Structure 1
Amino acid sequence: MDREQEDLQFLDFFGIFTESFNLVFSWRKIFSKITLTLILPLSVVFVAHIQVTELLFFKILKNEDSLNSIPKNSPNYTKLSDMITSEWISFWLFKAAYFTFFLVLTLLSTAAVVYTIACVYTGKEITFRKIISVVPKVWRRLMVTFVWNFVIVLVYNIAFGVLILLWAAIFGFGGIGILIIAGISVSYVLGFVYISVVWHLACVVSVLEDVYGIQAMLKSKELIKGKLVLCCAVFLTFTVLFLASQLVFQTVVVLGSSNHYGLRIVLGVLCFLLLFKVFLFGLVAQTIIYFVCKSYHHQNIDKSSLSDHLEVYLGDYVPLTAQDVQLGEF
């Protein structure tokens, strides 16, 4: 990052994307290795999940349709019913395994990208071997932050569901009730976007500062003040690109006509390329946003202190605590 820290606060929407592209291409050797090792498998897991989910789900639907045409209490009915039950169990076990692998690869990719950009910012010597040795240690902090975000999102969704049910029970779904529910739904979406933005920035805070978990979420909440619109715009841009690639892949490649194999292959490759680029540049952009927010709030980052903090992950440096300083002065 060639810009001075005080200049980062002036980066706008396009400036953040430009800075992300410049950073990736300036250090393309390191980012290429990170992509091949972590982000490419992440993309493969996501794409394979879509394909396998569709196959399992349509097989279950086909068997359920066949079950409706078989007389109840017959041996075939019992056999097919047991088969459908086992297929549903397999389906949800697969979804759980996918979510676990996807989460682990996402957090590992986040740790690698954020640590790499911090090393670039501080001018530290950086090698791919060093990144790989650091990532498992940073991943633990990110996992705690994710758990807190999961709890917050869960409580938020439960509260929204209870609110909708109470409103429907009291006022019903007619006339003004529909409009109010629509307004509540819009507020829910805005709140969900806000929580997502806070969490993404909290991931960067968890890597680059001494706090993680709920403290990182609170720190992120303070950092995005004044830059909320910019943060949301960047987040929504990558979200739209991600959902668009997923939708095209699912509708054209997975569910497309068997008469257009050539088109399905081409679009599948394009969706896959777009997907892992969205993952990579999204992680780079959210790290740059962290520095933009720090600069906006005039929270100057001491490069030597940040460098020392990064060395902690390698076990080469252990910073003094406040208690150690007081004891030495005494």
Structure 2
Amino acid sequence: MDLSPEELQHLSIRGILSESTSIPKYSPKTFYLITLTLIFPLSFAILAHSLFTQPILAQLNTYPQSQTQHAWTFLLVFQFSYLLFLFAFSLLSTAAVVFTVASLYTSKPVSFSSTMSAIPLVLKRLFVTFVWVCLSMMAYNTVFLIFLVVLLVAIDLQNVGLAVFSLVVIFVLFLVVHVYMTALWHLASVVSVLEPVYGLAAMKKSYELLRGKTLMACAMVFIYLALCGVISGVFGKVVVRGGEDHGIFARIVIGGFLVGVLVVVNLVGLLVQSVFYYVCKSFHHQEIDKSALNDHLGGYLGEYVPLKSSIQMEHFDV
């Protein structure tokens, strides 16, 4: 890719998608291994989760009273293990893709082993940022639940005005606040890897970078969430609950296909958020010193070797 800062800052969603999908060809083996070891398990777990929980929930009503407590304990342990797995592989996938894209951008030698070696230190920074994001999402969820309760009370009291107001607030909270918070989180994750800030400082930097590109960021996040929702919905209807309408072989084939589609969606999503970081930097006329970025990336591997010249972002050479 040979894009000037002016071309980067004016990229459309289609242009960002095109640039993102072209990146893996510069190091196909590395991205293949990242996809196979990190993104595939993550995508498989997201869809296969309902295959295990659905039968447990369905059988809870048929269990004797003496076995109910044991079943609920098993379900809670399974849910906790699933969330822990999801959390770990989500951070690992983000760290691996962002680090690899940045290494390609700075013409740093790229390999799967070098990426995996850098992940432990990157992971610490992403974890701190994720904690702050979780705290923000808890505040959002609290407000969301309050208005959900207000809606239920309004319906029970047949208060049409209050019910409509609550519906509007819930709609805005989900389609605006939730999508914006997700966009803020994704960009803050990239900032945590590529800049010497993380946690609350990374969220603040992400907020600054999003200004002027908020609608574009929210549109891309909404498209991503919608695709994931459709894939999960089809998987649940056909594979999880479609036993009577589809044979085992058909469910396996369809399930495998949907997992593959989700893998592609997740990989492209991670690449898009990496490229979008450079787009935002260019939009705000913030020069990216390749020398400093190279040193920063090398620091994860103990390879601080300052370059003699300061190379600014004249071309986006990946």
Q: How high is the TM-score relative to the length of structure 2?
A: 0.90
Which residue identity lines up with residue 174 of structure 1 in the other structure? N
Q: Identify the residue that residue 71 of structure 1 maps to in structure 2.
A: none
Show CA shifts across 1:67-93 (max 9, x none).
Answer: xxxxxxxxxxxxx21211110111011
Could you say if the C-alpha distance between residues 173 and 290 of structure 1 is closer, same or farther in structure 2, counting changes exceeding 3 Å? Answer: farther
Deviation at 1:61, TM superposition (A): 2.8
RMSD, matched Cα: 1.9
Summarize the Cα distance change of 1:254–1:124 in structure 2 as closer, same or farther, 3 Å threshold. Answer: same
**What is the aligned partner in structure 2 of residue 296 from structure 1?**
283
Unaligned runs of 5+ in 1: 64-79, 320-330
1:1-330 equivalence runs, <5 A = 1-63=1-63, 80-163=64-147, 165=149, 172-189=157-174, 190-261=176-247, 262-317=249-304
Q: Given that residues 206 and 212 in structure 1 are in contact (C-alpha distance below 8 angstroms), is that contact kept between their aligned partners in structure 2?
A: yes
1:316 is paired with a residue of what secondary structure?
coil
Greater gyration radius: 1
The answer as to whether partners of 1:168 and 1:177 remain within 8 angstroms in 2 is: no
Change (3 A) 1:233 1:170: closer
The amino acid across from 2:52 in the alignment is V
Q: After alignment, is 48-57 or 273-282 more displaced?
A: 48-57
| Offset, 1:318 | 8.3
Aligned residues of 2:125 and 2:198 also touching (Cα < 8 A):
yes
Label 1:247 to 1:167 Cα distance change in 2 as closer, same or farther (>3 A). closer
- State the aligned residue count: 303
User: Normalising by structure 1, what TM-score?
Assistant: 0.87
CA contact (8 A) 2:192 2:199 kept: yes
How far apart, in 2, do the equivalents of 1:58 and 1:104 lie? 29
Amino acid at match of 1:185: I
Q: In structure 2, the residue corresponding to 1:62 is in which secondary structure?
A: coil
Deviation of 1:100 (Å):
0.3
Per-residue deviation, 1:263 = 3.1
Distance in 2 (alpha carbons) for counterparts of 1:139 and 1:62: 43
Structure 1 counterpart of 2:8, which letter?
L
